[in-house]
Structure 1
Amino acid sequence: MRRPPSRRQFLAGTGAACAAALAGSPTAATSETPFATTNEQLESDIEQLVDELVETSLAEYDIPGASVAVVSDGSRSVTKGYGVADQDTESPVDPDETPFRIGSVSKPVVATALMELVERGEIDPEADVNHYLDVPIDDYGNDPVTLTDLVTHRGGFEATNRGMWIPDENDLRSLESYLQDDPQQRVRTPGRIGSYSNFGYALAGQVLAAHAEKPFYRAVDEYLLEPAGMAQSSFRQPLPSSLAKAHATGHGSTGTYRNGEFPLLGLRPAGAMSATASDMGRFLELQLNDGVLDGEQILEQGTVAAMQDQWETHHDRLSGMAFGLVEKFRGDVRTLWHDGGTLSFYSYLVLVPEYDFGLFVSFNAPGGSAAATDVVDGILDELLPNPEAESLTPDGAPARADEITGTYRSLRRSETWHDRVTSTLNAPTVDVRIEDDGTLITEQGTTTDRWVEIEPLVFERTDGRRRIAFGEENSEIQYLFRGGSPTAFGRVEGLDQLIIHGVLAVMAVLGTASAIIGWPAAGLYRQIRRDTEGAIPGWQTAVAHDIVRAKLLAVGSIGVLFASLVVIIAHFLVTPLMVLSDPPATFQVLFVGMILSAVGTIVTAGIAGYSWISEDWNLHERIHYTVVTASLIGICWLLGYWNLLVPPGVV
């Protein structure tokens, strides 16, 4: 493509020119290349672009600092620190010495070490991982889980916070302990439908550890970090004192974390790595040079190529997953990426193998998510061709249009842990409908996109830049797949609809309120009448009456239930990380009130049934008591559905 010699053309053209020169092609020095290039020019131009984008993002999103590495033409062209590592001390970010917490960017690092063993023939990625693990995996239909399933997020596991954030290093247990004692359940058959899983990656990392017969952090050191010379990076928790002292301070809404004292991860392989920009630059070089670094073959030949192949996709018309990296196409150019967010850091890594280009950027504040998007998009928009947007129009109604419409929710959520309600409320939801002209409309939050069917159940956005597809289960449309995303969306129907839970909760609260407010009010009214009519007994006599005691039991069950729920929520608000990840005994004991209330509800239900055959109850009392009992049962069912009726891990 011939374009004016802008910075975009300079960057993109240099990649092609260098590739042609390496291949011995004369076109590198002919008129087909409209401008001359040198490595120095390329590095200067990229550095200027990175400077502009990063410094603008730091100011716009109020982020203290950033650490950046850029590899172009297979070698590092930029390794820089920006801003400060700590706002109070104003110590600058040193790209060679200041580690940042890279979160889930740790995953492709783990995947690289695993692929090295695969290429050596020491691990079979399609074998049942129970052959390699020293911890059992939850059974689900007797279908084995493979290493490929784990690395491509198709292990079938629910997604919970269990074993994730551990605020106090004294509470941190071994990786084996979390996998053995706090397993996350499999909720679907492995190998087909994807759902991003930190637990799955923890199991994959344990395969590495079991093979080395060493703790995980030592295994990844041995197989990758040490051979690659990544000496200022580590998965160890807590960090070695030298790295902790040099570590960037994390600035987040949950606090300011200095000297490596940020919340730790029980599931280390999922995101516990701290790394400098210089070390991540070395990692990028490995990925772009087929495992060669400083002229030495660090990884087995073929390791990188095998890792960067597409391993899984939800549909052959959609981008999918490499071994530890996510595919994304910009026009016809394939990129591989992974991001990682923690409570106080955000990182992003992207590779463009066709252009021998790689970028790593990390920010020491969670607002780095928006900043990273600006930086990465800004650089790739300059580097890669910018295809013109299409304008697609539908040709009639989509196939199976009536079956496609509905609401779909991300499968990345908890089903058996007590964070089911928080994970469900935070799970992205997409509403799908069809317009009269056959255009498919998706709405997610405030974002609305328009799609045109290009083949049955496959749709392309009207600008031609994205695709989605729908998947079947038992001949019914059950899934929405988004290109490149490892996580599918499942159809929301039946009791999964939040509106049903909302209506039930409102009705149940009103029903219980009629007892808590109505019965005492009626009793007070009778007490007021007692002096004038003399027919209403005193409270001592009233309490001895079976109907009054039945009402006291119901009111007591309601009071204990709501009091327990309030205290449980308060405990969560005070210690959210520990409650979600590794609930302390103080949290567990609070469920005694829930259990007592559930027992009281069972007895109340029995009394409600008895009231309809007893002559002591009038019709109004029977109906009201039954309504109150049904409301109590409804609340207990809701709490049970959301795993909040019994202590975490009991069921």
Structure 2
Amino acid sequence: MPKLAVAMLAAALCPPGAALAQPAMPDAPIPYEALATPAPRPAARPRTTPRAPAQQATQPGAEAGSEALTPTGAAAIDPARLEAYLDGVIGSAMLRDRIAGVTVSVVQNDQVIFKKGYGHASLAPLRPVDPDRTLFRIGSISKTFTWILLMNEIQAGRIRIDAPINLYLPEALQIRDQGFTQPIQVAHLLDHSPGFEDRILGQLMERNFDRERPMAQYLRQERPRRVREPGQFPTYSNYGVGLAGQALVYVSGRPFEELVEQQITGPLGMSRTTFREPHPPRQGIPAPMAPSLARDLSDGFRWSPARGFEARPFEYLGHLAPAGSASSTAADMARYMIVLLNDGVYGQAPAADAATDAAAQPRLIFGPATARAFRTPLRPNEAGINDWPHGFITYPLPGGRKGYGHAGGTLSFTSNMVVAPDLDLGVFISVNTENGAELAAKLPAQVVAQFYGPAMAPPQEGDPDLRRSARLYEGHYLGTRRAYVGLERFVGFILSGVSVQVSRDGRLVTSGLNGAQTWVPEGDPAAGRFVSTTGPERLVFDLDGGRASAFQGTYNDVRFQRVGLWSRPAILAWLAGLSALAAVATFVGLALRNRRDLRQTQIQSQASLVQTIQAVLWLLAMGLFAAWLMGASDTAQVVYGWPGARLILASACALVASVLTLVTLAALLSIWRGGRRLDSWPVTRKLGFTATTLIYAAFAIVLFHWGALTPWSS
């Protein structure tokens, strides 16, 4: 189940510094016109080595000039030292975490200072990872291509950032109000605040190409519910990015894949980057990936202690291409990072060369206003919390530096791309195994820490005063990135929950399916700001009426809202245990009851039969759910096979048992009245029947609240 939580992209919560004031939240996004001038770049000191054209990448180990400087005057990274460091870090992680293959590239000062493949892209036949040829799935890094295309349309005036997205969608795809008063604007898609629920299971990815649908059909058929007014707070939305991509298609009249090829990958010479996927040609579906690229796709892997590395089927995402279907090489992603660092321009050739060589002419991928937008928040947030600069993620880096980029994940691949403008540095990594998320997440910050000094050690000491404020924070919180109805709501309640406690030594402890993390107060313990004891990440609580109502973490892709007693997994577990004991006790009573105990009225006899049937159904439901949980260790089986016969049958059994509880509740009064003393149950049996009925009733109420009694709605 923890792996399933990773596959569902549950939020990662994770530090030090003085408490900072919260900036005011504007009612509307920052106007795009305010971004018309390029973002200021740090003044560069003269380099002692010439700046090579971007097309001529420096290979690892080549002489790079130890006196080369970054824009801030810091010494540039020596490629030989970088290779030695990364060989150690990546090699150790591959052995520790059982990772089949990794591809990496690092750029600085318009040069590729490192690119390398580790391990294997396939095992049958055995094929090593080649950073120039092997394509890895880059998941949600695909979104950054979509945002470039969208911002170019905004800059050209064909799309307005503050306009309703419905203006740029065909009627069949337009979002209905669903009881909400505010329309979803283009800006809400850029900062993931459209107010949708998040549905993943059974439709986000496909392993069978026959189930693939055109993007417009997918967006129409899989439309999520609106669960809050737009603009309130971010909750990561793949569907929202799909709408942005479809708006681009509608405005331009061209398929999304062609837009990427014509405006980004083609001009950049990223010939081994594509949003297309390997499949037979089919009408209504974008043309397939070129065979020359399909041959070099890396397999995705899952590690099993019993069977070793297992190759998984290709993960089809073409129906939501703008959100995650891209595949690329480390070399191509190096070119892409150079563009991001150079504010949309690729190829800074000397003037003399540009006059004689057309290929050396700089290529403009996006303009200065877009460049500034990608480093400017749409809605300023609390200090230390990601502010979503027009679709990009802000990363805290060692030494108080700030990075920009995006991470991405599919079921088997995890990728990360971070550029640090003040160091003119970019790091890209992708791993092809389910277990590689930690390596991909940490590597960019590790590179900065290794070559530019680590950040201050995170605080470890708790604050005794926090114990006095414990009741402010302690409780159970549910993430907003989940489904809000049906069986997926039930699973979301389990996966997205986080428990918050205060330890005896004055530290905040958050715990969920992905483990526990400790935090210490940042300033006043009652102010609601906390710093991780393991890294540069923060938690910020909303305090309302003398207690915390919600909190958010550094990356701000999900909000955690405090919930009541009935939404806590511990209550569900206790009631499930009590119901199981009551069901077993019912069968034990049937076996041990003597002849005198069999005296009963007709109503008591019928009620006893109903409760016996309930016992069978509850035990069957719990057994089927336990069997489903055992299979949930393989995330692919859950996502592709959702909801599955076991879970549907478990829900159906629980539903029938819950309906029968209404019958036993209605019979309680008649059971206690009984008949003549010798023809009725003894008091002990009446008490047992009543207790069992109330336990089942409480269990049914909680299951209904969690969405578990809807076998027809997955």
Q: Shorter-chain TM-score category?
A: 0.7 to 0.9
1:159 and 2:181 aligned? no
Change (3 A) 1:645 1:578: farther
CA contact (8 A) 2:385 2:556 kept: no
CA contact (8 A) 2:277 2:316 kept: no
Partners of 2:507 and 2:653 lie apart in 1 by 49
Change (3 A) 1:293 1:133: same
1:623 to 683, 687, 703: 687
Give the structure 2 partner of residue 80 of structure 1: 116
Partners of 1:359 and 1:598 lie apart in 2 by 54
> How many equivalent residue pairs?
609
Structure 1 residue 352: deviation in Å? 0.2
1:149 and 2:188 aligned? yes
Q: Deviations over 1:494-524 (max 9, x none)?
A: 32222222222222222333223323432xx
Partners of 1:508 and 1:274 lie apart in 2 by 49
1:245 and 2:295 aligned? yes
Partners of 1:106 and 1:217 lie apart in 2 by 11
1:636 and 2:676 aligned? no
RMSD between aligned residues? 3.9
Partners of 2:648 and 2:503 lie apart in 1 by 50
Change (3 A) 1:23 1:408: farther
1:550 to 600, 607, 610: 607
Partners of 2:541 and 2:621 lie apart in 1 by 43
Letter of the aligned partner of 1:176 in structure 2? A
Partners of 2:96 and 2:628 lie apart in 1 by 35
Partners of 1:361 and 1:624 lie apart in 2 by 61
1:503 and 2:550 aligned? no
Change (3 A) 1:125 1:573: farther
CA contact (8 A) 1:512 1:631 kept: no
Structure 1 residue 358: deviation in Å? 0.8
Letter of the aligned partner of 1:611 in structure 2? I
1:368 to 436, 449, 452: 436
Q: Deviations over 1:138-185 (max 9, x none)?
A: 635323222332332223333332422323222233333333223333
Partners of 1:124 and 1:399 lie apart in 2 by 50
CA contact (8 A) 1:408 1:489 kept: no
Give the structure 1 partner of residue 494 of structure 2: 425
Partners of 1:107 and 1:319 lie apart in 2 by 17
1:281 and 2:281 aligned? no
CA contact (8 A) 1:331 1:465 kept: no
Change (3 A) 1:569 1:428: closer
Give the structure 2 partner of residue 257 of structure 1: 311
Of 310-319 and 79-88, the range deviating more from structure 2: 310-319
1:67 to 91, 99, 103: 103
Give the structure 2 partner of residue 607 of structure 1: 667
Q: Deviations over 1:190-212 (max 9, x none)?
A: 32333333333333333333334
Structure 1 residue 334: deviation in Å? 1.0
Give the structure 2 partner of residue 4 of structure 1: none
Letter of the aligned partner of 2:46 in structure 1? A
CA contact (8 A) 1:169 1:238 kept: no
Change (3 A) 1:325 1:38: closer
Partners of 2:462 and 2:578 lie apart in 1 by 44
Structure 1 residue 412: deviation in Å? 3.1
Of 291-300 and 622-631, the range deviating more from structure 2: 622-631
Partners of 1:391 and 1:624 lie apart in 2 by 54
Q: 2:230 is paired with a residue of what secondary structure?
A: coil
Structure 1 residue 577: deviation in Å? 4.4
1:20 and 2:58 aligned? no
Change (3 A) 1:168 1:70: same
Unaligned runs of 5+ in 1: 1-15, 25-33, 530-534
1:178 and 2:214 aligned? no
Give the structure 2 partner of residue 649 of structure 1: 713
CA contact (8 A) 1:96 1:278 kept: yes
Change (3 A) 1:127 1:595: same
Give the structure 2 partner of residue 113 of structure 1: 149
Give the structure 1 partner of residue 56 of structure 2: none
TM-score by length of 2: 0.75
Give the structure 2 partner of residue 296 of structure 1: 363
Change (3 A) 1:160 1:400: farther
CA contact (8 A) 2:517 2:532 kept: no
- Percent of aligned pairs with the same amino acid: 25
Partners of 1:635 and 1:393 lie apart in 2 by 42
1:122 and 2:190 aligned? no
CA contact (8 A) 1:451 1:461 kept: no
Partners of 1:104 and 1:386 lie apart in 2 by 28
Q: 1:506 is paired with a residue of what secondary structure?
A: helix
CA contact (8 A) 1:314 1:481 kept: no
Change (3 A) 1:263 1:552: farther
Partners of 2:114 and 2:318 lie apart in 1 by 30
Change (3 A) 1:413 1:313: farther
Partners of 2:465 and 2:376 lie apart in 1 by 36
CA contact (8 A) 1:320 1:327 kept: yes
Letter of the aligned partner of 1:563 in structure 2? L
1:447 and 2:517 aligned? yes
CA contact (8 A) 2:550 2:560 kept: yes
Unaligned runs of 5+ in 2: 1-40, 50-64, 71-75, 280-288, 348-361
Partners of 2:240 and 2:164 lie apart in 1 by 13
CA contact (8 A) 2:120 2:126 kept: yes
Give the structure 2 partner of residue 307 of structure 1: 374
Partners of 1:396 and 1:122 lie apart in 2 by 57
Mapping 1:534-545, distance limit 5 Å: 545=602
Q: 2:122 is paired with a residue of what secondary structure?
A: coil
Structure 1 residue 300: deviation in Å? 3.0
Give the structure 2 partner of residue 29 of structure 1: none
Of 275-284 and 590-599, the range deviating more from structure 2: 590-599
Q: 1:83 is paired with a residue of what secondary structure?
A: strand
CA contact (8 A) 1:112 1:307 kept: no
Of 391-400 and 482-491, the range deviating more from structure 2: 391-400
Structure 1 residue 362: deviation in Å? 0.8
1:37 and 2:101 aligned? no
Q: Deviations over 1:302-360 (max 9, x none)?
A: 22221222234541464432222221233331112322232222211111011211111
Partners of 2:618 and 2:464 lie apart in 1 by 55
Give the structure 1 partner of residue 33 of structure 2: none
Structure 1 residue 595: deviation in Å? 4.2
CA contact (8 A) 1:153 1:196 kept: yes
Give the structure 2 partner of residue 101 of structure 1: 137
CA contact (8 A) 1:408 1:480 kept: no
TM-score by length of 1: 0.81
Mapping 1:176-575, distance limit 5 Å: 176-238=216-278, 240=289, 242=291, 243-253=293-303, 256-257=310-311, 261-262=314-315, 264=317, 267-294=320-347, 295-316=362-383, 318-329=385-396, 330-373=398-441, 375-389=443-457, 397=465, 401=469, 404-407=472-475, 409=477, 410-427=479-496, 429=498, 431-433=500-502, 441-444=508-511, 445-453=515-523, 456-460=527-531, 465-472=536-543, 477-522=548-593, 525-526=594-595, 545-564=602-621, 566-567=623-624, 570=627
Letter of the aligned partner of 2:698 in structure 1? G
Q: 2:103 is paired with a residue of what secondary structure?
A: strand
CA contact (8 A) 1:101 1:345 kept: yes
Of 234-243 and 283-292, the range deviating more from structure 2: 234-243
Q: 1:166 is paired with a residue of what secondary structure?
A: coil
Change (3 A) 1:407 1:99: same
Change (3 A) 1:226 1:619: farther
Partners of 1:505 and 1:571 lie apart in 2 by 16
Higher RCO (C-alpha under 8 Å, 6+ residues apart): 2
Give the structure 2 partner of residue 6 of structure 1: none
CA contact (8 A) 2:200 2:639 kept: yes
Partners of 1:588 and 1:498 lie apart in 2 by 18
Partners of 1:68 and 1:464 lie apart in 2 by 23
